[in-house]
Every structure is written in structure tokens, then in C-alpha cells.
Amino acid sequence: MAARREDAPPARGRGSRWARPVAAAAAGALPALAFPAPSLWWLAWVGLVPWLLLVRGAASGRQAALTGWIGGTGFMLAVHHWLLPSLHVFLFVLAALLGLLWAPWGWLVRRLLGGRAGPGRLAAALVLVPSGWLVIELVRSWEYLGGPWGVLGASQWQISPALRLASAGGVWLVTFVLVAVNCALAALAAPLTARRTGRSAAEAVAAAVALAVCCGAVAAAWAWAPRPRADGELRVAVVQPGVVKGQHARLERSEALTRGLKGRGLDLVVWGESSVSFDLGAHPRLRKRIADLSSQVGARILVNVDARRSDRPGIYKSSILIGPDGTVGKRYDKTRLVPFGEYVPARSLLGWATSVGRAAGEDRLRGDGPVMMETSGEKFGPLVCFESAFPDMSRQIALDGARLIVTQSSTSTFQDSWAPAQHASLGALRAAETGRPMVHATLTGISAVYGPRGERTGPWLGTDRSTAQVYTVPLATGSTLYLRTGDWIVHAATAALVLYGAASCVRGILRRRRAGSPPGPSGGSPAAGP
């Protein structure tokens, strides 16, 4: 027991009762600056260190859990702050609820990094602390909790080595390495902030070795992860009408921009989400207008209809491919909907959210799953807006044989926030993970196109643009490691935490038994018999 007290972190001055909570919230919010629009990508490699040091220095496991909760709430608020005009006070409630996921993580950080973290405990921390963060991201990525927005690894969308990691283990592997590096840096910094420095050299060496291991993992992914092989190209036009008031005016602007593409040798024209607000089944003249437009430009047009369907009850968001002769193939109905934006979860209980924000007045309905479409002999799979945040959806499309992934989006509600840039950046991760190029087409920007390694192809179309842009999109064959194996790093992280928990339980039981056993006649092992 004396050794246990010796390893405990030194006592801190009481100071202001609000100092630690405010510092925890600020430290938790700091990594949000790594995402677009600030795009301080390097901050993701060091931005968790202040938070980790705060948790490590907590006076008790309870205080560490509270620091984790407050930091997690700060992170959720910072990453989703652009939702405030839509959700109002409800955003703070959601952030606090999701922030609770970091409470056990805070307890774990203090247990593994608190006190004098020797090489063994530091090695365990470099596996278990990132694993804990990864499980948090997995849980909050459930579509009913808001989806995988602000996943830490997504901040590295423009960094080639990180994209190579994503091709090996998805955005999850990038997150794992980022948290491991922050953990090692926190271990390096800890002796500098502690009063005792007797073992600081050993701790520093162990942390430096840990950093070298992380760098080695990135280098290994760069050298050995399979790369997609170039194999052809498609000429794809993105039509971005910009901010246009009124459904009819927006449709007419999209048509005018599309007519200007005549003679450009196109394979596909892509309009953004909700580009058509009228059911094509109930408006045959509109369907014929778009078909005639397809004939004029010499390419099929992928539109997105947000309307009440005439052939079944309810409102759907649907990707529909139109050729010179009308509708081509099956329509794709969006399957993962935005909570509160497109439906209200448990509306009978939470319907009041419509009175305090811009929550959906009527629920959209879900489709039945992915659909393959085809243009110029090449298969492609559509996604609608929010769905591009889910790695498993683009992976399934690629496994189904798509050579191109197309996202139709609209972030016009959040036009002057960080949301358009954050959403556009996700395409780079999805392309790198699957080895398939990604087209991200929006109504009002930002639109973007990425090659099969996640590299940018052509210009971004900003929120100030109203234009039609033609991209030569490189196609590829082959599969990435992530495409073959899926979320292996998530499964490994979960298994590591389960094993650690089981081992801790066993040790605790054995310790209590030893403490509660009466000494034997000679003071050693307990005597046998009654």
C-alpha cells in the first residue's frame, strides 16, 4: 500500500474551484482547430497533450473521470459549434451527454499515466489510451447519436502519410496513431511538470521509444500498404448553382449551368443534394426536361430529389440517374438520416426540439441499402450528404464493384461556418480507404473531387461559386488493406480493453483474497482445515 501511495501524483494547490473545469473544457476544445476551416492539421499530433496532463494530474480517479467528461464536452461543442443556430440549447445537452463517453477514458489515463509511469505501464498506455479513444469514436459514430463527425483522424485529410495509414486501417488507424503520439508526448512532458524527477530519464527514454514506434508504423504503412493501380478515367462535371432563393430558381440555374457543358466530352454530370424538389414520377414534364438536357450535353445526369414520393407514402431523399431516354436503373434512397435535421429520434418524447431549433418538421424515410449505377460502362455508387462520413458505407459500395463513389450534398444551412470545408474534406479519407475516386458535389459549396489515393483532383469550388466544373477523374483497380479487412484496428482496440479489464478484475479479486485471508500458525499461508 505504501508503494501505491508513492506512485500517486503529487498534491496540487487548490486555487480557484473553476480553474480545472475551465482548463479541461479549453484543453478538450483545442484539437477542434485541426479540422477545416482552420486546418491546423499539425495540432492533432500535439493538441491532446494539455488535456492528458490535466487528467494525469488529477487527485483521484473520480476527478480524472470528471476532467475527461468536461474535456469531452468541450471537444464536442467545438467540433459541432456550427450547429448552434439550428439546435440552440439542445446542442449543449447533446455535447454533455456525448462528453460522458470520455469519463471512463479519463479514469484510464490517470491509472496508466499517473505517478511514475515506468516502461511497462507506458507501453500499456500507448495501446490502451488510444484504444479507449477509438471505442469512444466508434460509439458516438452510431448514426442515432450523430454519426462520425469530428473523428480525430479525419483532421489529416490532406497529409499523404496519414492517407496511407487510412488505406491500411481506415480513419480509425489514423486516430489510433494520433492519440498514441499525444500519449507519448504527454509522458515526455510529465517529468517536467512533476516535483519529483528521480526517474525522469527512464520515463523520457521510454516515451522516446514509443514515439519511434509510432513513426515506424507510419513508415511501414507508407512502404508496404497496397496501392491502387491507375486504370482509365472518367470526365465528370459538378454543377454547383450556389445560393439561389426558391426551388424553381435553383432548378433553372442548374439547368442553365448544365447546358453550358455541351460538347465537353462528359461521362457524367452530378447535381447536389435536393437539387430537385419535385417528385419526377408526378412531374413527367420535368423528367423529360432533364432527359432532353442529358441528350444535349451527351452525358447522364445524376440528380437528387427531396420530395414526397408519388409511388409510396413519405418523403425521401433520392439519387436518380437520368439519361436521354429518361430514368436509368434503380433510384437510391438515402439510408442514414441526420438526427433532428431529417428526422427527430423518438419524436413523441423529443418533438419539442422543433420549437427551439430547425429540427425536421416531418421525418424523412429510409431507403433499403446501396445501389449500383452505371455510366459509360463504369459502375458507380451514390451517397447522400451525411453518409460520406461513414467509412463502412463507401467500403461497401467499393466491395459491390463501384469504380467511383459520388456524394451529393448540401450544407447551405451552415454556409458561413466550418461545416462545408469539413464535409468536403471527408471525401479524401473515403477515397484513400477504398482506393476509389470520390466526387463530392454540393448545391452551394464546397464541392471537391479526390483521386483513388485521396489526393485532390482539380479545384475546390468554394461557397462563393456558382459554376459548373469539369474534372478528369482517375480510376483505379486493386484493393486497399482497409477494403480487404475492414475495421480491424477497432476490433483489436476493443479486445485490448476487454483483456485489460478482465486482467484488472482478476488482480483485484486475488488482492482482496490475500488481504482477507487470516495468517497461518507461522504467519505465512493460512492453515488448512476448519
pLDDT in tens, 422-444: 999 999 999 999 999 999 999 99
Highest-scoring range by mean pLDDT, 118-122, 307-311, 521-525: 307-311
Select the more confidently predicted residue: 265 or 514.
265
φ, ψ (nearest 5 deg) of residue 273: -65, 140
Summarize the confidence of residues 188-192 as an average pLDDT. Answer: 73
Amino acid, single-letter form, for residue 54: L
- Local confidence band at 356 (pLDDT 50, 70, 90 cut-offs): low
pLDDT at position 518:
60
Q: Where are the beta strands (DSSP E) in 410-457?
A: 438-442, 448-450
> Poorest-confidence range of 98-102, 127-131, 526-530?
526-530
pLDDT at position 214:
76
pLDDT at 350 over 70: no
- Local confidence band at 362 (pLDDT 50, 70, 90 cut-offs): low
**CA separation (Å) from 521 to 510, 524, 526?**
21, 7, 7
pLDDT, tens digit, for every residue of 369-427?
899 999 999 999 999 998 999 999 999 999 999 999 999 998 888 888 899 999 999 99
pLDDT at 527 over 60: no
pLDDT at 253 over 50: yes
CA distance 380 to 269: 13
Q: Among 48, 56, 54, which Cα is nearest to 30's?
A: 48
pLDDT at position 386:
87
Q: Among 251, 329, 332, 333, which Cα is nearest to 293's?
A: 251
Summarize the confidence of residues 500-523 as an average pLDDT. Answer: 75
pLDDT at 516 over 80: no
φ, ψ (nearest 5 deg) of residue 520: -75, 180
**Which residues make beta-bridge pairs with 240?**
467
Summarize the confidence of residues 167-191 as an average pLDDT. Answer: 90
- Local confidence band at 302 (pLDDT 50, 70, 90 cut-offs): very high
Amino acid, single-letter form, for residue 103: A
- Local confidence band at 343 (pLDDT 50, 70, 90 cut-offs): low
pLDDT at position 530:
32
**Which residues make beta-bridge pairs with 239?**
271, 468
pLDDT at position 193:
59
φ, ψ (nearest 5 deg) of residue 315: -100, 135
Q: Tell me how crowded residue 231 is: count the other CB atoms within 10 A of its CB.
A: 12
Summarize the confidence of residues 485-500 as an average pLDDT. Answer: 94
pLDDT at position 95:
92
Q: Among 275, 273, 272, which Cα is nearest to 248's?
A: 275
pLDDT at position 4:
41
CA distance 241 to 236: 16
Select the more confidently predicted residue: 515 or 443.
443
pLDDT at 118 over 60: yes
- Local confidence band at 310 (pLDDT 50, 70, 90 cut-offs): confident
Summarize the confidence of residues 47-57 as an average pLDDT. Answer: 94
pLDDT at position 187:
85
SS3 assignment, position 441: strand
> Percent of the chain beyond pLDDT 70?
86
Mean pLDDT of the chain: 86
Ramachandran area for residue 159 (φ above 0: left; ψ -120 to 50: alpha; else beta):
beta
Stated pTM of the model: 0.88
Summarize the confidence of residues 150-167 as an average pLDDT. Answer: 94
Highest-scoring range by mean pLDDT, 88-92, 204-208, 350-354: 88-92
User: Are the C-beta atoms of residues 507 and 274 closer than 8 Å to each other?
Assistant: no
**CA separation (Å) from 256 to 225, 227, 246, 293, 445?**
45, 40, 15, 10, 18
pLDDT at position 199:
53
> Poorest-confidence range of 106-110, 167-171, 192-196, 344-348?
192-196
> Poorest-confidence range of 25-34, 106-115, 308-317, 383-392?
308-317
